[in-house]
Structure formats: C-alpha cells, structure tokens
Structure 1
C-alpha cells in the first residue's frame, strides 16, 4: 500500500516558460509542452488555468492507448 501511495505523488512543474504546441491550427484546443523531462497538457482556451503533468512513462501509456483505440467511444460501447 505504501508503494502505491508513493507512486501517486504530485508533480509540480513551472510551466511559465513552456513552449506550448497545438495539434492543429486551433490555439484553443488541447496543448502540450515538454518541460524538464515531463509532459504538460492544458486547455488552450484557458492558458492561465491548470496544467496536467505526466511522466514520460504515463505519456507513453496514453499515446499507445490512443493509437490502439482504447479511447474510441465506439469501442467502449462494445465492451
């Protein structure tokens, strides 16, 4: 149980100087930035709002899941 609690630590990262990237031409969509070995994600419509911070392992798991269709609503309906 203690190991699980340690894995849930909160990562605090200064993203004030981050170079945010958007997937397309819409700056109000999801944006990501690579900062100090971590990946930050924010809502481009609220750039002063909070950012979600991911470790490289967490980001890789997310990307692989997205590529595999893990977050596809049609796939969720079948399960």
Structure 2
C-alpha cells in the first residue's frame, strides 16, 4: 500500500491547449499526445481527440519522464 498523501486531480481548462506528439510517431493516428496547460500535464489518444484525457501534476510527469529515461519501464 502506498503511504503518500493523495492529491486531487488537477482542474484545468483544455480549451486552446496545444497538443504535441513525437516527431517519431507514425502517421496512422496511433499516438499519445501531450499538452501543458497551466499547472498540469494532459495526455490523450490521438485517435480519439475528443475522448478522455489523463491529467497529471507537473511533478508527477517529471517523475515519470525521469523513470522512463532511467530505464525503469524497459521490458524484461
């Protein structure tokens, strides 16, 4: 069980958000897009731009990137 304090999901306005995806992404629409509205990081599936959005606090996003760059999520 995780003993860290639980935080509420960031509340943000995504109207006008600038969505980005990797330049290495294929053109078939099967990509993850990221936006950086003030105070949060938003992530969505490019195949469904009007669907659900995952929201993260910036420090959560930074921890994820640090782990990914450090190989924490590499497949065995």
Same-fold status (TM-score > 0.5)? yes
Cα offsets for 1:14-53 (capped at 9, x unmatched): 2121110011254620000110121111111110011111
| Count of residue pairs the alignment pairs up | 70
8 A contact 2:19–2:33 mirrored in 1: yes
Which residue is equivalent to 2:57?
A: 55
- Which structure has more RCO (C-alpha within 8 Å, separation ≥ 6)? 2
Tell me whether 1:72 sits opposite 2:74 in the alignment.
yes
- Unaligned runs of 5+ residues in structure 2 are none
TM-score (norm 2): 0.79
Greater strand fraction, Structure 1 or Structure 2: 1
Runs of 4+ in structure 1 deviating by more than 3 angstroms, as ranges, are none
1:35 is paired with a residue whose SS is coil
Question: What is the rounded CA distance, in whole Å, between the counterparts of 2:75 and 2:36 in structure 1?
Answer: 28
- Unaligned runs of 5+ residues in structure 1 are 75-79
Larger Rg: 1
